[in-house]
């Protein structure tokens, strides 16, 4: 009997030793970052977890932005949504309309007792995620903007100045012709057609993509990207495609891999391609501004954000919200935010992170890494603040479909843009009806 008591006592002591002094609060974070960016997200969680003992952030990759958003909506309806959800900028209007599903980030920070000043964030970024009443709804995390990435080695081989990227669309066409003559089979390509060639193109030229200030003025917005300027640009790209100067490589960011591999010499795409290129490419690499048409008054203005923000889901326990608040405060620390910006090519989310990066000499040592920032920190206008539309994912798919008709020589630029506007407006009407009041 005594032996049995001793054994039981030893077991109890072993159990007590095995138990942590305080159970950690786990925070589930669903994201869409693969490859080098997935490693970055995992490192952020690890570093935060190591910095304190009360909370444990667990990041989970849930596929592409579209897939993770669909999965989160299904999970919310089933009552098991994640605590934090990374949503790309295209889903912002949909998340804003899902009032019962989200908890505004300002409320989360206040509840966690964490100082929170929306004015500390880069204005063009913070403004995008702010409601008309001035309340910041989501946490700016990985904001990008479109830039021109180019292969310096390919430029040298074609007799082009590797330190002078083309800044205008006529210069892009001219550089592409020289690259083709030197034997390049893919002189220029682009990822994210709608984002780079229509949305950012509009803001960069200070023209509307859609009415009511690109949707910021309400759900009655309607598409407006079939003006003579837009038609001229898509016609020019179609002509470049016919001559083998522009090679279409697919939807989303499919074109990115063809630049990293060296197959394509120039690509307009996300500034966040930087991390992938610096890690995986084997050529001299340069970054230039998004090209523009020099005869358009007011161009260039500013580009618009892409990437994503972090939304906090509703219906969680108070300790979870406290942990989320602490995690967001950690991500906002100038040193942490600056390190993220320098590692990935995403924009610095706070002004302090930009200033710290600048003072460190990072931009001087890595020419071109400040292009995305300088494109974004210019003064914005009502036409260039960004594009915030309901059913935006579906609208982008429509644009991809119509543009593919142009690249394949089956449709004229005007027909394709007119049809995309008509079909896209049907999506906007549906969203407006579903969200009246």
- Do residues 270 and 191 make contact, with C-beta atoms less than 8 angstroms apart? yes
Alpha-helical regions (H) of 182-290: 193, 200-204, 211-214, 228-242, 254-260, 274-280
What are 284-306's pLDDT values in tens digits? 999 999 999 999 998 999 998 89
| Rg (alpha carbons) of the chain, rounded to whole number | 24
Per DSSP bridges, beta strands 84-88 and 146-151 are: unpaired
What is the arithmetic mean of pLDDT over 334-343?
96
Going by pLDDT thresholds of 50, 70 and 90, the confidence category of residue 111 is very high
What's the CA gap between 54 and 65, in Å, rounded? 30
The answer to whether residue 9 scores a pLDDT higher than 50 is no
Cis peptide bond prior to 387, omega within 30° of 0: no
The answer to whether residue 35 scores a pLDDT higher than 70 is yes
User: Which pLDDT value is given to residue 360?
Assistant: 97
The answer to whether residue 318 scores a pLDDT higher than 50 is yes
User: What does the mean pLDDT of the chain come to?
Assistant: 92
The answer to whether residue 312 scores a pLDDT higher than 90 is yes
The answer to whether residue 7 scores a pLDDT higher than 80 is no
For the ranges 82-86, 155-159, 305-309, 404-408, the lowest mean pLDDT is seen at: 305-309
Going by pLDDT thresholds of 50, 70 and 90, the confidence category of residue 22 is low
Which pair of tokens denotes residue 75? 């999970």
Residue 244, C-beta contacts closer than 8 angstroms, at least 6 positions apart: 180, 185, 187
For the whole model, what pTM was predicted?
Answer: 0.88
133-162 exposure pattern, b = at least 16 Cβ within 10 A, e = fewer: eeebbbbbbbbbbbbbbbbbbbbebbebeb
The answer to whether residue 78 scores a pLDDT higher than 50 is yes
Q: Which of 357, 325, 376, 390 is nearest to 52 (CA)?
A: 325
User: Which pLDDT value is given to residue 13?
Assistant: 44
Q: Which of 31, 42, 138 is nearest to 340 (CA)?
A: 42
DSSP track, 249-272 = --STTHHHHHHHTTSEEEEEEEGG
- Do residues 214 and 385 make contact, with C-beta atoms less than 8 angstroms apart? yes
What's the Cα-to-Cα distance from 363 to each of 305, 337, 358, rounded to whole Å? 20, 15, 6
- Decide: residue 429, CB within 10 A, 0-12 exposed, 13-18 middle, 19+ buried: middle
Residue 169, C-beta contacts closer than 8 angstroms, at least 6 positions apart: 233, 236, 291, 292, 293
* Residue 227 CA to its chain's centroid (Å): 26
For the ranges 13-22, 257-266, 420-429, the lowest mean pLDDT is seen at: 13-22
For the ranges 35-39, 54-58, 97-101, the lowest mean pLDDT is seen at: 97-101
The answer to whether residue 427 scores a pLDDT higher than 50 is yes
What is the arithmetic mean of pLDDT over 369-380?
86
DSSP 3-state of 216: coil
How many CB atoms are closer than 10 A to CB 17? 7
User: Which pLDDT value is given to residue 19?
Assistant: 45
User: Which pLDDT value is given to residue 12?
Assistant: 45
User: Which pLDDT value is given to residue 131?
Assistant: 84
User: Which pLDDT value is given to residue 379?
Assistant: 78
What's the CA gap between 415 and 421, in Å, rounded? 10
User: Which pLDDT value is given to residue 2?
Assistant: 46
What is the arithmetic mean of pLDDT over 247-275?
96
Query: How many residues are recorded in the chain?
Result: 437
Q: Percent of the chain at pLDDT above 90? A: 78
What's the Cα-to-Cα distance from 81 to each of 71, 78, 110, 302, 323, rounded to whole Å? 9, 8, 22, 36, 16
More confident residue, 378 or 150: 150
Which pair of tokens denotes residue 384? 């260039």
């Amino acid at each position: 009997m005594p032996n049995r008591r001793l054994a039981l006592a030893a077991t109890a002591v072993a159990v007590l030793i095995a138990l942590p002094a305080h159970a950690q609060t786990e925070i589930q974070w669903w994201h869409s970052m693969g490859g080098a960016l997935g490693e970055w997200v995992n490192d952020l969680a690890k570093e935060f977890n190591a910095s304190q003992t009360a909370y444990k952030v667990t990041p989970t990759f849930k596929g592409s932005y579209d897939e993770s958003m669909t999965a989160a909506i299904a999970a919310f309806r089933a009552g098991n949504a994640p605590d934090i959800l990374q949503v790309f900028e295209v889903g912002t209007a949909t998340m804003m309309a899902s009032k019962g599903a989200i908890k505004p980030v300002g409320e989360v920070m206040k509840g966690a007792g964490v100082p929170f000043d929306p004015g500390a964030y880069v204005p063009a970024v913070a403004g995008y995620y702010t409601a008309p009443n001035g309340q910041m709804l989501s946490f700016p995390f990985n904001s990008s903007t479109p830039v021109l990435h180019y292969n310096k080695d390919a430029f040298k081989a074609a007799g082009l100045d590797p330190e002078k990227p083309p800044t205008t669309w006529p210069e892009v066409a001219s550089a592409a012709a020289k690259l083709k003559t030197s034997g390049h089979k893919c002189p220029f390509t682009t990822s994210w057609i709608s984002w780079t060639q229509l949305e950012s193109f509009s803001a960069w030229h200070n023209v509307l993509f859609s009415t009511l200030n690109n949707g910021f003025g309400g759900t009655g917005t309607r598409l407006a990207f079939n003006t003579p300027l837009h038609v001229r640009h898509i016609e020019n790209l179609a002509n470049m495609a016919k001559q083998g100067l522009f090679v279409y490589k697919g939807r989303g960011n499919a074109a990115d891999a063809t630049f990293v591999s060296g197959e394509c010499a120039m690509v307009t795409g996300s500034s966040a391609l930087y991390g992938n290129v610096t890690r995986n490419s084997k050529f001299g690499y340069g970054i230039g501004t998004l090209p523009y048409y020099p005869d358009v008054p007011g161009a260039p203005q500013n580009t618009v954000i892409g990437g994503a923000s972090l939304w906090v889901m509703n219906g969680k326990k108070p300790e979870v919200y406290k942990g989320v608040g602490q995690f967001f405060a950690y991500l906002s620390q100038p040193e942490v935010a600056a390190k993220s910006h320098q590692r990935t090519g995403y924009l610095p989310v706070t002004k302090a992170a930009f200033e710290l990066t600048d003072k460190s000499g990072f931009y001087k040592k890595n020419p071109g890494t400040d292009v995305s920032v300088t494109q974004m920190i210019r003064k914005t206008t009502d036409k260039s603040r960004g594009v915030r539309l309901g059913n935006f994912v579906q609208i982008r798919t429509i644009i991809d479909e119509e543009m593919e008709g142009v690249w394949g020589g089956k449709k004229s630029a005007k027909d394709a843009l007119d049809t995309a506007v008509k079909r896209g407006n049907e999506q906007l009407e549906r969203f407006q009806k579903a969200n009246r009041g």
